[in-house]
Structure 1
Amino acid sequence: MKKLIPFLLLLVLILSACGNQTTEDEGSSKKEDSSAKMVTYQSENGPVKVPKHPQRVVVLSEFAGNVLNLGVNLVGVDQWAKSNPLFKDELKGVEKVSADNLEKIIELNPDLIIGLSKTKNIDQLKKIAPTVTFTYGKLGYLEKHREIGKLLNKEEKANQWIKDFKKRAQAAGKKIRSKIGEDATVSVIEGSGKQLYVFGDNWGRGTEIMYQEMKLNMPQKVKDMTSDKGYHAISPEVLPKYAGDYIIFSKKPDADPSFQKTDVYKNIPAVKNDHVFEIDARKYLNDPITLEYQLDVIKKAFLDK
């Protein structure tokens, strides 16, 4: 028994030392994990400390589809994302928020906020969580997704999607040009009643896909009038001057269709030739989820008829 007691004491000391070492190792590991949680993102306004792996993101702009595509958790989005039918299932349980209701955003306890440079109350938002903003149109539509990927530590995933999407869109464009002719023109319009809009090559509604990737031709009149702002407002009466051989009509479900019953509209060659294809105007953005929808609609419109 006397020999057993010193052995037991030695065993206790060894176990105690091991336990202390484990605790120290765990503490060291926690410190390392803690220091690795924040990284510096080089935003257009300078460096911003952001979570390396954000878990509770609030989007106050057009980037909800980008974040969803990259598999990062959203806790709050603006009304435009909430009303997009393409996001309906993915945004179940995600709160609708706005920069005008800071209290609601605080309640969501975000660890990252993403917005546009024109988003309201940016200084106050920065006090709630790291906030990164982008200037609309400053980046190309695919470069924008790459930047969101960098911000969310998902750049490789973003690059993979970009490469695959460009390949598919360009292949479809080659088939479309072969079918409709290399010189055929395509215009994109939206609106109803007394006000219509035509769009350039970087204004959603499938414009990036058709003009940038597929290399379809924009009518010269549209090109001239959208070169500054990216879009141009017109009256239904002058639509024939802007209409291409084919028309993509971005149309809201509740839009006033009266101008489509006028002789001016009916006599447009694209209308007479049944070359008008409708796209849901609520799905107008250029995030990956919406782009996939638009690509599908464009392919079916030009190749499945």
Structure 2
Amino acid sequence: MKKLLFPFILLLVLIISACSNNNSSKDESDSVKEDKAKTITYQSENGPVEVPANPKRLVLLSGYTGNVLQLGVNVVGVDVWSKNNPTFKDELKDVAEVSDENIEKIIELEPDLIIGLSNIKNIDKLKKIAPTVTYTWGKLDYLTQHIEIGKLLNKEKEARAWVEDFKKRAEAAGEEIRAKIGEDATVTVIESYGKDLYVFGDNWARGTEILYQSMKLKMPEKVKEMALKDGYYALSAEVLPEYVGDYLIISKYQDADVSFQETETYKNIPAVKNGHVFEMRGEGASFSDPITLENQLEFIKKSFLGNN
């Protein structure tokens, strides 16, 4: 009797196991399909756009890379500036470099969401590949922009949490810095790029948003007059003393012409003579995303407060 029962039991076990495996595979397949099918309606500046609820393959054509990476979303293609940004070197090691003209390459990447600035080319072609959302540069302030990208990626809660925490830390550091250097002390931010020099207002990256908006540090009147409206102003080394306040921050590219720092005009600037010059790496300084902002906040604190 036992000999007759054993083959029957074995056959029954195999049938149940096969059914279970088939059901499991079916469940997994259905789950993937359902995940892909889930969308949310994002209210973009150009109207509502249906986007994936959980995007997994993003193409970024105009920055915003640090915003997306900070929110933990996978990136498969980025613009040349992001790709060459040393801040994201490790995260973008295996990510493709693309532009708004690389339509075929973008198709090959099979993105489920594309993000760019409002002036990108081939917008109609891009929309046929995947939902495409664009932003107008400067329309939103640097922190609100991160929250907006959080909404797009269905991660608004996480974005708001970071923004609130960052604001508190930056404001606290600002109070500490002002207490040390004086409420009326002025700070100037310039950049040496190639053979050009630029001075910046309060919303043009290079730490300016943190210094002037969050920390409430003051800029010289000449900088207000020439750079505040447009965000930046090109100037010559000869007139640099007119723009430099009590403290000077220089965003310096590796291949920049820094011969101006060897001139008597530069050396006689009070901020230079007092040792109040701080240099940051120019590569990557033009971004205003959370990863870059965290680095810049640490740079500013260390520059003004040392190890305090």
Q: Deviations over 1:71-108 (max 9, x none)?
A: 00000001111111110111121111111111111110
Q: Normalising to structure 2: TM-score of the pair?
A: 0.88
Query: What is residue 213 of structure 2 aligned with on the other side?
Result: 212
Equivalent residues in 2 for 1:116-127 (5 A)? 116-127=117-128
Q: Secondary structure at the match of 1:53?
A: coil
Q: Secondary structure at the match of 1:98?
A: coil
**Which one of 288, 291, 305 corresponds to residue 289 of structure 1?**
291
What amino acid is aligned across from residue 304 of structure 2 in structure 1? F
Instruction: Give yes or no for contact 2:190–2:200 (8 Å, CA) kept in 1.
Output: yes
Work out whether 1:44 is the aligned partner of 2:42: no
Deviation at 1:30, TM superposition (A): 6.1
What amino acid is aligned across from residue 114 of structure 1 in structure 2? I
Query: What is residue 192 of structure 2 aligned with on the other side?
Result: 191
Percent sequence identity is 65
Q: Normalising to structure 1: TM-score of the pair?
A: 0.88
Deviation at 1:33, TM superposition (A): 3.2
Work out the CA distance in 2 between the residues paired with 1:278 and 1:48.
42
Deviation at 1:143, TM superposition (A): 0.2
Instruction: Give yes or no for contact 2:78–2:98 (8 Å, CA) kept in 1.
Output: yes
Work out whether 1:235 is the aligned partner of 2:236: yes
Note the residue ranges of structure 2 that are not aligned, 5 or more in a row: 1-15
Q: Secondary structure at the match of 2:199?
A: strand
Work out whether 1:110 is the aligned partner of 2:111: yes
Deviation at 1:228, TM superposition (A): 2.4
| Pair 1:31–1:107, CA change in 2 (3 A) | closer
Work out the CA distance in 2 between the residues paired with 1:294 and 1:106.
35
Work out the CA distance in 2 between the residues paired with 1:155 and 1:34.
19
Instruction: Give yes or no for contact 1:193–1:258 (8 Å, CA) kept in 2.
Output: no
Deviation at 1:32, TM superposition (A): 9.7
| Pair 1:34–1:304, CA change in 2 (3 A) | closer
Equivalent residues in 2 for 1:82-97 (5 A)? 82-97=83-98
Structure 1: 4+ residue segments shifted above 4 A = 29-32
Instruction: Give yes or no for contact 1:202–1:230 (8 Å, CA) kept in 2.
Output: yes
Work out the CA distance in 2 between the residues paired with 1:281 and 1:204.
11
| Pair 1:88–1:183, CA change in 2 (3 A) | same
Work out the CA distance in 2 between the residues paired with 1:194 and 1:102.
34
Q: Secondary structure at the match of 1:277?
A: strand
Equivalent residues in 2 for 1:124-273 (5 A)? 124-191=125-192, 194-273=195-274
Work out the CA distance in 1 between the residues paired with 2:213 and 2:223.
15
Q: Secondary structure at the match of 1:172?
A: helix
Deviation at 1:165, TM superposition (A): 0.6
Work out the CA distance in 2 between the residues paired with 1:68 and 1:238.
40
Q: Secondary structure at the match of 1:115?
A: strand
Instruction: Give yes or no for contact 2:202–2:208 (8 Å, CA) kept in 1.
Output: yes
Q: Secondary structure at the match of 2:145?
A: helix
Work out the CA distance in 1 between the residues paired with 2:178 and 2:201.
19
Deviation at 1:195, TM superposition (A): 2.5
Deviation at 1:283, TM superposition (A): 2.1
What amino acid is aligned across from residue 209 of structure 2 in structure 1? E
Work out the CA distance in 1 between the residues paired with 2:298 and 2:280.
11
Query: What is residue 71 of structure 1 aligned with on the other side?
Result: 72
Deviation at 1:191, TM superposition (A): 1.9
Q: Secondary structure at the match of 1:139?
A: coil
Instruction: Give yes or no for contact 1:193–1:259 (8 Å, CA) kept in 2.
Output: no
Instruction: Give yes or no for contact 1:194–1:236 (8 Å, CA) kept in 2.
Output: no
Work out the CA distance in 1 between the residues paired with 2:235 and 2:272.
18
Work out the CA distance in 2 between the residues paired with 1:118 and 1:223.
28
Q: Deviations over 1:218-247 (max 9, x none)?
A: 111111112321111111111111101001
CA RMSD of aligned residues (A): 2.2
| Pair 1:35–1:74, CA change in 2 (3 A) | closer
